[in-house]
């Protein structure tokens, strides 16, 4: 198993641990768990769904990384392990800090802009920027996702939860 697979397993296990704490302790202790009316949803429903998805995806990521690591370890020869061809190149600390700064800045911009121009406009602009920053270079994919996803989420929130997004 390579160093990259160990990092991926640790990352997945960390997500599982944080999501488990969220589902079992944080959400029940910080939100109302019962609905106020007969046809109302519990305020803890959406946080539970979100944390449950993080828990599920973290488990899947951990298992996939473990299986890929075992497969790579079984197929790798000592020459490949020593040459670094099996492991991906490590990212620099400056690159990681830059990534973190961009995500923090875009999240802050989202919180500041959304009350003024609305969810669909903010989501379209920032989602296009996030996709380009993440490395998606196809104009058609960026356009389809950044235009379609905010509209889809807006309609889904309205029809499923009767919540009008700003």
pLDDT tens by residue, 136-163: 888 999 999 999 999 998 898 888 878 7
Say whether both 96 and 75 belong to one domain: no
Residue carrying the six token digits 């406009």:
121
Contacts with 22 (C-beta within 8 Å, 6 or more apart), sequence order:
47, 51, 54
Taking the C-alpha atoms of residue 166 and residue 146, their distance in angstroms, rounded to an integer, is 17
Neighbouring CB atoms inside 10 A of 55's CB total: 19
Residue keyed to tokens 């802009």 = 113
pLDDT of residue 70: 79
Look at residues 89, 119, 146 and tell me which one is the last residue of a structural domain.
89
Do 5 and 80 lie in one domain? The reply is: yes
Residues 6+ positions from 2 with CB-CB distance below 8 Å = 69, 72, 73, 76, 81, 86, 87
Do 1 and 74 belong to one domain?
Answer: yes
Q: Examine the domain organization and report whether 15 and 61 are in the same domain.
A: yes
Confidence at residue 1, expressed as pLDDT on a 0 to 100 scale: 62
Do 36 and 105 sit in the same domain of this protein?
Answer: no
37, containing H or E segment: none
The pTM (predicted TM-score) of the whole model is 0.52
Domain span at residue 67 reads 1-89
Q: Quote the number of domains for the chain.
A: 2
pLDDT of residue 41: 78
- Give which of 45, 166, 158, 30 is closest to 111, Cα–Cα: 166
- 113 with 149, same domain: the answer is yes
Domain boundary among 89, 105, 133: 89
* Tokens 């104009």 belong to residue: 139
Render the burial of 78-110: b for 16+ CB within 10 Å, e for the rest: eeeeeeeebbeeeeeeeeeeeeeeeeeebeeeb
* 79/99 Cα distance (integer angstroms): 33
- Percent of the chain scoring above 90 in pLDDT: 24
Under-70 pLDDT residues of the chain: 1-2, 73-91
């Amino acid at each position: 198993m390579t160093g990259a697979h160990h990092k991926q397993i640790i990352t997945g296990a960390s997500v599982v641990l944080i999501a488990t704490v969220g589902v079992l302790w944080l959400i029940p202790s910080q939100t109302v768990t019962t609905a106020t009316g007969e046809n109302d949803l519990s305020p803890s429903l959406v946080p539970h769904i979100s944390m449950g998805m993080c828990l599920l995806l973290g488990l899947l990521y951990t298992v996939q990384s473990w299986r890929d690591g075992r497969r790579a370890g079984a197929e790798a020869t000592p020459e490949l392990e020593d040459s670094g061809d099996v492991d991906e190149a490590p990212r620099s600390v400056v690159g990681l800090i830059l990534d973190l700064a961009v995500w923090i800045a875009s999240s802050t911009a989202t919180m500041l802009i959304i009350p003024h121009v609305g969810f669909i406009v903010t989501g379209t602009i920032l989602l296009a920027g996030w996709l380009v920053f993440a490395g998606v270079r196809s104009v058609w994919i960026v356009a389809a996702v950044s235009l379609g996803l905010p509209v889809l989420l807006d309609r889904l929130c309205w029809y499923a939860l009767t919540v009008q997004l700003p």
